[in-house]
Amino acid sequence: MTRIPAAAALIAAAALSLTACGGGGSGSVHLAVPTTTGSVTQQCAALSRTLPATLMGLSKRATTPSSPNTAAWGDPAVTLRCGAGLPGVLDPHSKDYNPEGDNVSGAEVGGVCWVSVYNQADRSFTFSSANQYAIVEVHVPADYSGKQSPISELAPAVAKASPRDPDRRYNCS
């Protein structure tokens, strides 16, 4: 995985932009719901109860199907899935495995190891909390590139809801 200092990662994350403030969008956002069990289910439910009503200045939206494992804000939607699997670039069993790829970086933000994957095809970012028991995946569409990242707003809730998994040791610093 490409290593970048935490301060540089925060600056890079801040480069994600908000092009329209407050937009809640209409209708619900369709998301695949991660299947969870045991403590991960409990951690996702705890996270769901503490998620902000606004993220990056965007209003929260309903998700379909409704689940404590998903959330969305704005239009186009910034989405969150709790209990997601490791990003393919970090999963040695994935065809996409490439932790040293140019489109992968990591940073410790708010006590959470966030792995950022840039999707060149649609210019979006996906952030994953790689070292937590309940992996939280946050997808940020290209429409928001340039100003702000959601991870600093979400990190305290993620860290509180889901402790670090000592068996996951991705170096995000």
Residue 108 lies in a domain: yes
Q: Which two tokens stand for residue 121?
A: 């095809």
Nearest partner of 1 among 106, 120, 81, judged by Cα:
106
**What is the C-alpha to C-alpha distance for residues 153 and 79, in angstroms, rounded to an integer?**
14
pLDDT tier at 6 (50, 70, 90 boundaries)?
very low
Residue 173 lies in a domain: no
pLDDT tier at 37 (50, 70, 90 boundaries)?
very high
For residue 111, pLDDT over 70 is answered with: yes
Lowest mean pLDDT among 8-12, 20-24, 70-74: 8-12
pLDDT tier at 2 (50, 70, 90 boundaries)?
very low
Residue 172 lies in a domain: no
For residue 61, pLDDT over 60 is answered with: yes
Residue 47 lies in a domain: yes
**Cβ atoms of residues 128 and 139 within 8 Å:** no
**Cβ atoms of residues 168 and 33 within 8 Å:** no
Residue 167 lies in a domain: no
Residue 168 lies in a domain: no
Instruction: Go through the chain and tell me how many residues it has.
Output: 173
Residue 98 lies in a domain: yes
Residue 166 lies in a domain: no
Domain that holds residue 124: 2-141+149-156
Model pTM score: 0.83
For residue 14, pLDDT over 90 is answered with: no
Per the structure, how many domains does the chain have? 1
Q: Is residue 89 classed as helix, strand or coil in its secondary structure?
A: helix
Q: Is 52 exposed, middle or buried (0-12, 13-18, 19+ CB in 10 A)?
A: middle
Contacts of 111 (CB under 8 A, 6+ apart): 155, 156, 159
Average pLDDT score, the chain: 85
